Amino acid sequence: MPERTMAATEIARQAGEGARAVPLSGHVGFDSMPDQLVNKSVNHGFCFNILCVGETGLGKSTLMDTLFNTKFEGEPTQHNQPGVQLKSNTYELQESNVRLKLTMVNTVGFGDQINKEDSYKSIVEFIDAQFEAYLQEELKIKRTLHSYHDTRIHACLYFIAPTGHSLKSLDLVTMKKLDSKVNIIPIIAKSDAISKSELAKFKIKITSELVSNGVQIYQFPTDDETVAEINSTMNGHLPFAVVGSTEEVKIGNKMVRARQYPWGTVQVENENHCDFVKLREMLIRVNMEDLREQTHTRHYELYRRCKLEEMGFKDTDPDSKPFSLQETYEAKRNEFMGELQKKEEEMRQMFVQRVKEKEAELKEAEKELHEKFDRLKKLHQDEKKKLEDKKKSLDDELNGFKQKKTAAELLQSQAQQAGSSATLKKDKERKNFF
């Protein structure tokens, strides 16, 4: 089997850092490498995550059902949600020997609120959360990246309401916020409401608005020759005008998926009726792998870079000595410990201060108490003295009175005696008289 040899210049270009190209003199067999790689991936299974953003009632769930030819679970949501929530469902599909873990995330309540300023926030948070989970896994010491269930959003289908005029400001704002985080594929939902001529004008208006607002939507890759042509044609058909339907109608002698109106039937898979086939082609059959790769190499790397820079890591310092993540981490850790210690010191000092103050206060109070006590004591003593004086004087008085009393009593007794003697005398005298 003659091997295809590339032109020497091409091989030399591939050589890169000084690797010479050598011709082979026989069949070696490493051209089975892509097959080996593919087989391993097939054994492993694939995963694909789609995010559907759009107002309630635009047919997101129906379109997903139509795209993947199944009836996914769930019922239509109500219109009275207080905020935008994201509901995700995972399904396992299998076709021939390819197993696909498909996750579909739906925005519930998008565009239903009166004040829609924060509608985009929950979507952005969700996407970031998936990136964060992957980043955490990647930064672990013991990690199992090759068996990690990748939940990062690979494609975001943005559903545009078929007004026929232009994009709503909510659409512009949301897409602007999402374009650096996820691959956006805008589609016009329920496009059977627009006539063909209006549709062309609508598409042009949308594209020009997106361009003038600097919204980066996903461009199908055109660097691989086998798909470059079809991809560039499709790039011109964006946004795709789709119609979804899970009901089947008999057309001719076949059952096709369609929407039946009194004036005709819109066939989902008829390229003249809508761009559904193009969407399916581009999303699944041609570019699924590229969408996954873009998510990993562009959006995820951007997120990672921003996140790590935010955390304070940097790649090289001015002396051009490359830091390792670990070193920076050590430095940060030491810094943090230092800060911690400083804070501890401060707190300790504050505590000491407070204690001192309290002590001083208490001392003051003690002193006051002492003074009061002294005063009271003195008062007490004075009172006591006064009372004693009074007592003394009273005693004196009492003594004096006693003396007087005794004196008086003596006198009285003397007087009595004298009286009695006097009476005696008197008696004598009387006697004498006689």
Partner 1 sequence: MSEIVPPEVRPKPVVPAKPSHVAPPSGAPFLPSPQGTGGEGRGSALLGYIGIDTIIEQMRKKTMKTGFDFNIMVVGQSGLGKSTLVNTLFKSQVSRRSASWSRDDKIPKTVEIKSVSHVIEEGGVKMKLTVVDTPGFGDQINNDNCWAPISKYINEQYEKFLKEEVNIARKKRIPDTRVHCCLYFISPTGHSLRQLDIEFMKNLSRVVNIIPVIAKSDTLTLEEKIEFKQKVRKELEVCGIECYPQKEFDEDTEDKSDNDKIRETMPFAVVGSDKEYQVNGKRVLGRKTAWGVVEVENPNHCEFSLLRDFMIRSHLQDLKEVTHNIQYETYRARRLNDNGGLHPINSSGHDTQESNL
Q: Which residues within the stretch 246-285 sit at the binding site for partner 1 (CB under 8 A)? A: 254, 256, 267, 269-271, 277, 280-281, 284-285
Identify which range of 26-34, 189-197, 376-384, 409-417 contacts partner 1 by CB under 8 A. Answer: 26-34
- Say if CB 303 and CB 136 are below 8 A apart: no
The reply on whether position 28 binds partner 1 by CB under 8 A is yes
The reply on whether position 389 binds partner 1 by CB under 8 A is no
| Strand segments (E) across 141-210 | 155-160, 184-188
Q: Which is nearer to partner 1, 68 or 124 (CB)?
A: 68
- Contact pattern for partner 1 over residues 48 through 87, marking x by CB under 8 A: -------------------xxxxxxx--------------
Residue 386 vs residues 25, 171, 383: alpha-carbon distances, Å: 136, 100, 5
- Say if CB 257 and CB 267 are below 8 A apart: yes
Residue 147 vs residues 41, 84, 134, 140, 330: alpha-carbon distances, Å: 11, 32, 12, 14, 30
Q: Which is nearer to partner 1, 35 or 117 (CB)?
A: 35
Name residues whose C-beta falls within 8 Å of residue 315's C-beta, 6 or more positions apart in sequence. Answer: 322, 323
Residues between 174 and 203 with contacts to partner 1, criterion CB under 8 A: none
Could you say which of 160, 241, 290, 299 contacts partner 1 (CB under 8 A)?
290
Beta strand 264-267 with 254-261: parallel, antiparallel or unpaired? antiparallel
Distance between CA 5 and CA 11 in Å, rounded? 9
Residues between 318 and 337 with contacts to partner 1, criterion CB under 8 A: 322, 324-327, 329-330, 333
Distance between CA 375 and CA 365 in Å, rounded? 15
CB of 223 to partner 1, least distance (A): 8
Q: Which is nearer to partner 1, 5 or 349 (CB)?
A: 5
The reply on whether position 236 binds partner 1 by CB under 8 A is no
Q: Which is nearer to partner 1, 71 or 431 (CB)?
A: 71
CB of 318 to partner 1, least distance (A): 16
Distance between CA 256 and CA 120 in Å, rounded? 37
The reply on whether position 219 binds partner 1 by CB under 8 A is no
Burial 284-321 (b: 16+ CB within 10 A, else e): eebbbebbbebbeeebbeebbeeebeeeebeeeeeeee
The reply on whether position 360 binds partner 1 by CB under 8 A is no
Could you say which of 79, 87, 121, 143 contacts partner 1 (CB under 8 A)?
143
What is the spatial order of strands in the sheet that 264-267 belongs to? 248-251, 254-261, 264-267
CB of 126 to partner 1, least distance (A): 19
Could you say which of 9, 82, 95, 197 contacts partner 1 (CB under 8 A)?
95
- In 3D space, the residue among 252, 285, 255 whose CA is nearest the CA of residue 268 turns out to be 255
Residues between 4 and 23 with contacts to partner 1, criterion CB under 8 A: 4-6, 11, 14-23
The reply on whether position 317 binds partner 1 by CB under 8 A is no
